Amino acid sequence: MLFHLRTLLARTALRNGNTRLVRNFRCGQAIQNNVGLKGRDLLTLKNFTAEEIKYILWVSADLKHRIKQKGEYLPLLQGKSLGMIFEKRSTRTRLSTETGFALLGGHPCFLTTQDIHLGVNESLTDTSRVLSGMTDAVLARVYKQSDLDLLAKEASIPIINGLSDLYHPIQILADYLTLQEHYGYLKGLTLSWIGDGNNILHSIMMSAAKFGMHLQVATPKGYEPDPDITKVAEQYAKENGTKMSMSYDPLEAARGSNVLITDTWVSMGQEEEKKKRLRDFQGYQITMKTGKAAAPNWTFLHCLPRKPEEVDDEVFYSPRSLVFPEAENRKWTIMAVMVSLLTDYSPQLPKPTF
């Protein structure tokens, strides 16, 4: 019924000379830079080259321009369905995925722990094969990266990491799109991570050097990033001629930085550690004092939800804060991921500078 309504509206628009709702899209082979991602999984940015990540960001900017700015209707995912498995609740991941997939003509199907228990009543192997027969892709927000890896191994459709204990790749895509929009480039920027050595940081470590960005990290003792991931990140920095540093001093990490980044200190599943964590993270709040150590053009990112102990109101609500454009870009980047993995779409917008 929705399809017929859209068709009627488009025909009416044509008769009235209004092109706003007209189907005006191109879905051809993605030949630029010889990048073709159709059928791939997105489990971690470690598995993607610089050009592949840039391509997703290019598609993100293209879709945002064509749909938001030009008002085009692009049913690129018409007839396709997406399984959404959420072991952890979410605002931005769920909203961006559901609204974005529907906006492109697809049908998202949301499953909570009340609907599906990965590996409990049914093996992950069986679940992945059932999902492969009923959906075109699955986005899973899970506790364990190993569950995602097994889903991807057994599935015949793309599996997308909506968050795991190790990585949060779709968040970092939104961060990079936001920074590219603000600065006009990414290469040469210095990112500072001040906080927990968690999945967000891991995803930055797996990708920043590929863009020629430097990374300065400060965590409390005992909250460092995964040592194996750190080794890979150090190798990436060496290969790409960038710098990566680790310290326990927030001001040292902020020195000369273009972007100050933090995240929650107490993630879901860590509630029993809250008192200890708040004690251990004292001195890690991002304030204007932190910003004084940074570059004159510094900005601030936070994936949300935010607590005042992580960043004070003066920074969070200041013109330097990009958190709300960052949140909106979750939608455009996840749309680009879906389009890139499920179609042969060619962006019409000129390639942005990275």
Question: Known catalytic residues?
Answer: 263, 303
Q: If DSSP states are collapsed to H, E and C, what string results for the chain?
A: CHHHHHHHHHHHHHHCCCCCCCECCCCCCCCHHHCCCCCCCECCHHHCCHHHHHHHHHHHHHHHHHHHHCCCECCCCCCCEEEEEECCCCCHHHHHHHHHHHHCCCEEEEECCCCCCECCCECHHHHHHHHHHHCCEEEEECCCHHHHHHHHHHCCCCEEEEECCCCCHHHHHHHHHHHHHHHCCCCCCEEEEECCCCHHHHHHHCCHHHHCCEEEEECCCCCCCCHHHHHHHHHHHHHHCCCEEEECCHHHHHCCCCEEEECCCCCCCCHHHHHHHHHHCCCCCECHHHHHCCCCCCEEEECCCCCCCCECHHHHCCCCECHHHHHHHHHHHHHHHHHHHHCCCCCCCCCCCC
